[in-house]
C-alpha cells in the first residue's frame, strides 16, 4: 500500500497558458518519466455510496470527505490501482493498493470479496466501507496529464486536459467507451501538490498565471453533467 499526505490546490486555466507555462516548467523542474509530447492518459472509475454521499459531501463543502476509485493508465494493463482520497480542509491523504486486472473486474461488478485476500489493512478497510455503504461504480473520467516534479518538498505540478467522462459503460478496461466532454476543449486543470509549504520560485512562477481556483473535482464535474442531463 502506498500512502501520500500533502496539500493540493486546483486551478482552471486556458490552453494557451498551459502551453506557455509547460515550456517554462521544462526549464526548471523534472518531467514525469511517463510524459510524452501531450503527457500520458489517466482513466479512473469512481465509486460512490447508494445515495451518492461522497458527491454531495463535496458539493456541500463538508470539511472531511473521501473519494474511492479504480485507476489505470492503459486499457491493456494487467492491473489497476484502488485509491482512496481523504480530504480535510487543504490537506489530503491518498492511499493506493495495486490489484490484479481480474480482481479489478470483480470490483467493477460490485463484488468486493477479492479485497479480503490482500494482507494490507487498507484492503480490509475498503472492503468494509464499500460493502457496508453499498458503494457502486458511478462514472469513468479520462484525461491526458502532463506532470512536473521538484525534488524538494515533494512538489508535483500537473496539467490535465481533454477531460471526458461516461456513465453508459463502466468497464475500466474497455477499448470502446463513448465519452462526453466534462469541460470546454480549451480548458485545462492545473493542480499543485506539495508538502507543508510551496517553494518560493515555484510560487512566483504560478502567481504569474492568469487562473481561477477550482473548487470542484473532476468526479463532481462529471456527475454534474449526468445529473443535469437527467433533469
| CATH, residue 55 | 3.20.100.30
DSSP line for 117-168: GS-SHHHHHHHHHHHHTT-EEEEEEEEEEEEEEETGGGEEEEEEEEEEEESS
Q: Which residue has the cell 453508459?
A: 168
- Whole-number pLDDT of residue 141: 97
Do residues 200 and 179 touch, judged by C-beta distance below 8 A? no
Confidence (pTM): 0.92
Residues 6+ apart with CB under 8 A from 104: 70, 72, 79, 80, 82, 172, 173
Place of cell 514525469: 32
Domain containing 140: what range? 2-230
Domain count for the chain, please give it: 1
Tell me, what's the pLDDT at 87?
A: 84
Q: Could you say which residues of the chain have pLDDT below 50?
A: 231
* Rounded Cα gap, residues 51 and 167, in angstroms: 16
Q: What was the pLDDT predicted at 204?
A: 86
Beta bridge partners of 150: 155
In angstroms, the CA 160 to CA 96 distance is 20
Three cell numbers written together for 212: 481561477
- pLDDT value of residue 206: 82
Amino acid at each position: 500500500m502506498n500512502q501520500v499526505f500533502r496539500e493540493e490546490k486546483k486551478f482552471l486555466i486556458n490552453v494557451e497558458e498551459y502551453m506557455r507555462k509547460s515550456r517554462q516548467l521544462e526549464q526548471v523542474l523534472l518531467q514525469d518519466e511517463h510524459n510524452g509530447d501531450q503527457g500520458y492518459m489517466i482513466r479512473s472509475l469512481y465509486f460512490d455510496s447508494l445515495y451518492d454521499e461522497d458527491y454531495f459531501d463535496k458539493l456541500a463543502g463538508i470539511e472531511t470527505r473521501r473519494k474511492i476509485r479504480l485507476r489505470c493508465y492503459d486499457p491493456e494493463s494487467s492491473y489497476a490501482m484502488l485509491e482512496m482520497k481523504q480530504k480535510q480542509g487543504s490537506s489530503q491523504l491518498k492511499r493506493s493498493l495495486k490489484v490484479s486486472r481480474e480482481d479489478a473486474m470483480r470490483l467493477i461488478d460490485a463484488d468486493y470479496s477479492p479485497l479480503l485476500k490482500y494482507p494490507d489493512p487498507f484492503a480490509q478497510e475498503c472492503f468494509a466501507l464499500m460493502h457496508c455503504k453499498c458503494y457502486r461504480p458511478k462514472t469513468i473520467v479520462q484525461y491526458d496529464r502532463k506532470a512536473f516534479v521538484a525534488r524538494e518538498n515533494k512538489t508535483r505540478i500537473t496539467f490535465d486536459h481533454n477531460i471526458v467522462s461516461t456513465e453508459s459503460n463502466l468497464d475500466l478496461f474497455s477499448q470502446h467507451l463513448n465519452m462526453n466532454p466534462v469541460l470546454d476543449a480549451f480548458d485545462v486543470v492545473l493542480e499543485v501538490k506539495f508538502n507543508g509549504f510551496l517553494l518560493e520560485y515555484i510560487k512566483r512562477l504560478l502567481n504569474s498565471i492568469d487562473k481561477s481556483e477550482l473548487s470542484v473535482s473532476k468526479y463532481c464535474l462529471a456527475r454534474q453533467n449526468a445529473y443535469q442531463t437527467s433533469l
